[in-house]
Amino acid sequence: MDDPVAAAAMLHQAQQVQDRTFKAGPKEWLVQMAWAGWVLLFIPPFDFVGGEIWGPVVLASSAAGTIVCYRYYLKGYGRVHPLAPKQWRVWLVWSPWYAAWIVFANVFKDRTPVAATIAAVASAAPLLGYALRNRRRAARQ
Amino acid sequence: MSHPRTRLDDVMHQPVRFSIAAALAAAKELEFSAVRDIVEISDSLLSQHAARLEEAGYVHLRKGHVGKRPRTWLSLTPEGRAAFEDHVDALRAIVEAAPT
């Protein structure tokens, strides 16, 4: 084959197929966004509801979220196993950050009435920002 | 220096097989139906070309089950990945060698 136009068309086709492959894989940004949403939804009520009441709700919802995530990845990876999924690294960075803000909320709960809300917003914001950036990147592919 | 067309791989050069290889090059492993949907071909055409790629040693087919349903997963072998990359390089060289 000597035709550069045909060669360029084949390269373009390969790029399109690879973009479709990336899109068909599990959407990491969706999981990140869901957990950021969970933090924003389930942590602030600690400012208004006692830990002995709200604690079990948070525990149950986080367990349910973990199971849903596990099933999502199991199904997604069973169909499209990405080449180098490195997104787990974000959890390594974010988890201590989240834990630090939860400690902050516990330490300052008697000094400020919105300690849990502050901790929720501060801990979820970077994860949400990262998820939105990933979503934009995925949409561009 | 030889023309880049001499580096084109005969097995890879078939457009459907090239697309299958492109999809597989972007993943560790793809389930049969995922390849079919991504490349937009029928089951029978995919089976036919996957068999040809397997015969050439470029694709590994793994059979298993999800629940009770049988499933097949496809992945590029190291030889297949190298052949795909060499083929892409040859195509790029053809494009770049074109008079402007």
- For chain A (141 residues), the mean pLDDT of every run of 10, in chain order, is 87 94 88 96 94 94 95 88 78 95 93 94 96 86 65
Give me the residue from A14, A22, A25 closest to B88, CB to CB.
A14
The pLDDT confidence band at residue B88, using thresholds 50, 70 and 90, is: very high
Distance, in Å, from the CA atom of B62 to the CA atom of B29, rounded to the nearest integer, reads 9
Nearest Cβ partner of B34 from A1, A10, A79? A79
Q: What is the pLDDT of residue B58?
A: 97
B49: Cα separation from own chain's centroid: 9
Task: Check pLDDT > 90 for residue B68.
Answer: no
**For residue range B22-42, what is the model confidence (pLDDT) as tens digits?**
999 999 999 999 999 999 999
Cα torsion at B50, B52, B58, B59 (round to 10°)? 20
Q: Does B61 touch chain A (CB under 8 A)?
A: no
pLDDT of B70 higher than 80:
yes
CA distance B67 to B69: 6
How many CB pairs below 8 A link A and B? 78
Number of domains in chain B: 1
Query: What pLDDT was estimated at residue A38?
Result: 97
Taking a C-beta distance cutoff of 8 angstroms, is the pair A42, A61 a contact? yes
Compute CA distances B28 → A22, A81, B22, B50, whole Å. Answer: 11, 5, 12, 16
According to the model, what pLDDT value does residue A84 have? 67
Mean pLDDT (whole number) for B64-89? 93
Q: Which residue has the tokens 């990405």?
A: A82
Average pLDDT over residues B16-20: 96
From residue A65, alpha-carbon distances to A39, A58, A131, B66 in Å are 11, 10, 17, 23
Of residues B66, B95, B97, nearest to A11 (C-beta): B95
Task: Give the nearest chain A residue to B31 (CA atoms).
Answer: A79
CB contact under 8 A, B26 and A22: yes
Q: What is the pLDDT of residue B32?
A: 96
Per-residue pLDDT band for B100 (boundaries 50, 70, 90) equals low
Judge: A18–B25 Cβ closer than 8 Å, yes or no: yes
Residue % of chain B over a pLDDT of 70: 98
Domain span at B63: 4-97
Please determine, for the modelled complex, whether the ipTM score is greater than 0.95: no
Q: Tell whether B64 is within 8 A of chain A (Cβ).
A: no
Asked if A81 and B97 come within 8 Å (Cβ–Cβ), the reply is no
- Closest by CA to B71, choosing from B19, B36, B22, is B36
Helix, strand, or coil (residue A23)? helix
What pLDDT, on the 0 to 100 scale, is given for residue B1?
58
Is residue A87 within 8 A of residue B34, CB to CB? The reply is no
Q: Looking at this protein, which amino acid is placed at residue A32?
A: Q
